[in-house]
Amino acid sequence: MAKKLVGVIDIGSVTARLKIFEINSKGKPKVVEAVRKIISVGTKSYGTGVIDPEQLDEICDCLNHFRNKLNEYQVEKTFCIATSAFRDAGNRDVVIEQIRIRTGFLIEVLDNSMERFYQNIAVREIMPEFPELINEGTMILDIGASSLQVTVYDKSDFIFSQNMVLGSLRIYEMLSDLQNRTTHYEDVLQEFIAQDLEDYHLVEPKGITYRSIIAFGGELGYFKLLSGSDPNRSCTMTKAEFLKVYEYLIKTRPSDLTLNDKIPSYIAPILLPVALIIKNMLEYVGLETIYLPHVSLSDGIILYYCDKMSGGRKLSSRMEDDLIRSARNVAKRYKSNKKHIDFVEKACCELFDASAKLNGMTSRDRLLLRLSAILHECGKFVHATGHNDAAYSLIRYTELIGLDSDELETIALVVRLYPKQNPYENYYYQSLPAAKKVIVSKLTAILRIADAMDSSHKQKVKDMTVTLYPDRLHISCDVVADMSFEEWSFEHRSGLFEEVIGIKPQIRFRRQL
């Protein structure tokens, strides 16, 4: 594979970054140029809810500067992404179009879930000690400008992830007017942060003994700088070293940080909220060391790109596996019947694979089907009879790291529609664009008959073979009990499959002696 130059532009809330990567013949990326520019997008948009013309000019000037650098290197491909400042702006679509006209860049606004997905990739792939650390309880703090994402690993498995509106810039914007009204600003900050962290502790997984804590985010390079470390390298910091920086931030005004420590004026006021978040979590887990990897969103994007390209460097682990584990933890939280959902998930996969030549769907669609199967009964935690409608709301407000909002909506709709006799008449279905109607219909059809095969929730089917014939999809099952209920349910639910996949499903039972 020939060498290739790829650029990644990350428009954050207070900083815009350009990284130019050279992908070598083995598909491994290396940074050849990194440029950053302080911008003021988040400092205003979080308060006003819009990106104003002055900020738009600033972004366009910055992107045109980046364009010159990309042209200088003759970069072949460029990703241009934006995060929370754009995500939360009411006029983002208009701004994105203006930027496209004025700079030629088409900005992709990442959902919070996808932003954290790429960040997690960067940490996993760049930290050599990461696989060893997650053998035991590990807490990861992804501290952004608008929110805090806490992710938990244990026994090498992804356990849990939760987002909180505790971003450094958002906290500063909300409480900045208090600085001139109180002499104990840090105490007010502490109370504000502690309140949200208490809510997190109510929903976090219990019984985990934490052995490691990892923190990263755009401002943490300045913590390394203040502690005497290289801000552009990964490091570990003892609790004592961290508290020394924390105490310095408490007694030093932001203007003095800018004057004496060369910290940009937009950054200086938001360092104390970051320090308080880390201090609270360090005290909670009771550890004496914190890992501060030098990673960025751009690193995660380029690593994922290399993983997907032909001949590129593959990721050390399948991120889809984390999604599956995350969904199973959600199902467990809502007391779903594990044996039933395991059966339905397995049946969905076999039906999908056997009908692959006809269903026209992708491996990503197969993943969405598996997630739908795992989550299809979580609504029973709320309401036994209208569980599918309850599940729709629960899933839409559940964050699965690695799914964008459109994919999460697809799963929620499939779970909502699968018990319906005629999903075509559903309001939510009718409001979908044509292409999405097709995908939702196909996934719903497969989930319907997979669920029907275990209608009694007794797992009477012990073995199953699915074979595609020219005139039918034949499902042969070895069973250990009477299947009259399941057979009746299958007959009533198989019509949609024939309509949307284009072949009649036929089921046969063979009683084991």
pLDDT tens, position by position, 316-355: 777 788 899 889 989 998 999 999 999 999 999 999 999 9
pLDDT value for 99 = 96
Is 344 in the same domain as 456? yes
Q: Could you tell me if 88 and 45 are in contact, meaning their C-beta atoms sit under 8 angstroms apart? A: yes
Q: pLDDT > 90: what percent of the chain?
A: 66
pLDDT at 243 over 90: yes
pLDDT at 139 over 80: yes
pLDDT value for 58 = 93
Is 244 in the same domain as 350? no
Q: pLDDT > 70: what percent of the chain?
A: 97
Sheet harboring 15-23: ordered strands across? 29-38, 15-23, 4-11, 77-82, 108-109
pLDDT at 385 over 90: no
Q: How confident is the model at residue 373 (pLDDT cuts 50, 70, 90)?
A: very high
Is 355 in the same domain as 285? no
pLDDT value for 40 = 77
Is 65 in the same domain as 150? no
pLDDT tens, position by position, 151-202: 999 998 888 888 888 777 777 776 666 666 666 777 887 888 888 888 888 8
17 occurs within a structural domain? yes
Which two three-digit tokens encode residue 450?
């997979």
Print the SS3 string covering 383-422: CCCCHHHHHHHHHHCCCCCCCCHHHHHHHHHHHHHCCCCC
202 occurs within a structural domain? yes
pLDDT at 421 over 80: no
pLDDT value for 182 = 66
Which CATH number goes with the domain that contains 93?
A: 3.30.420.40
Alpha carbon 255 to its chain centroid, in Å, reads 36
Which two three-digit tokens encode residue 356?
């692959």
Please tell me the total count of domains within the chain: 3
Which two three-digit tokens encode residue 328?
């199973």
The pTM is what? 0.87
116 occurs within a structural domain? no
Main-chain phi, psi angles of 30, to 5 degrees: -140, 135
How many CA atoms does the CB half-sphere of 103 hold within 13 Å? 25
Q: How far apart are the first and last CA of the chain?
A: 58
- List CB contacts of 11: < 8 A, sequence separation 6 or more: 39, 41, 59, 62, 80, 81, 82, 83, 85, 86, 107
pLDDT tens, position by position, 31-65: 999 999 988 776 666 677 889 999 999 999 999 99
274 occurs within a structural domain? yes
Is 102 in the same domain as 139? no
118 occurs within a structural domain? no
287 occurs within a structural domain? yes
pLDDT tens, position by position, 206-231: 889 999 999 998 789 999 999 999 99
pLDDT value for 319 = 79
Is 163 in the same domain as 38? no
57 occurs within a structural domain? yes
Instruction: Specify the length of the chain in residues.
Output: 513
Distance CA 229, CA 301 (A): 26
Q: Is 323 left (phi over 0), alpha (psi -120 to 50) or beta?
A: alpha
Is 95 in the same domain as 135? no
pLDDT at 1 over 70: no
Domain boundary among 282, 308, 334: 308
- List CB contacts of 235: < 8 A, sequence separation 6 or more: 224, 229, 292, 294
Distance CA 263, CA 108 (A): 29
- List CB contacts of 442: < 8 A, sequence separation 6 or more: 359, 360, 361, 365, 500, 501
122 occurs within a structural domain? no
Which CATH number goes with the domain that contains 195?
A: 3.30.420.150
DSSP-assigned beta bridge partners for residue 421: none
Domain boundary among 279, 308, 337: 308
**β pairing state of 4-11 and 77-82:** parallel
For the chain, give the mean pLDDT.
90
Is 407 in the same domain as 369? yes
User: In which domain, by residue range, is 226 found?
Assistant: 128-294
Is 211 in the same domain as 277? yes
Which CATH number goes with the domain that contains 384?
A: 1.10.3210.10
Is 358 in the same domain as 423? yes
Is 182 in the same domain as 51? no
Buried b (16+ CB within 10 A) or exposed e, 157-170: ebbbbebeebbbbb
pLDDT value for 197 = 86
- List CB contacts of 355: < 8 A, sequence separation 6 or more: 446, 468, 473, 501, 503
pLDDT value for 316 = 76
Print the SS3 string covering 200-253: HHHHCCCCCCEEEEEEECCCHHHHHHHHCCCCCCCEEEEHHHHHHHHHHHHHCC
pLDDT tens, position by position, 294-321: 999 999 999 999 988 877 778 877 778 8
- What's the whole-number mean pLDDT along residues 479-489? 93
Is 137 in the same domain as 247? yes
Domain boundary among 308, 339, 354: 308
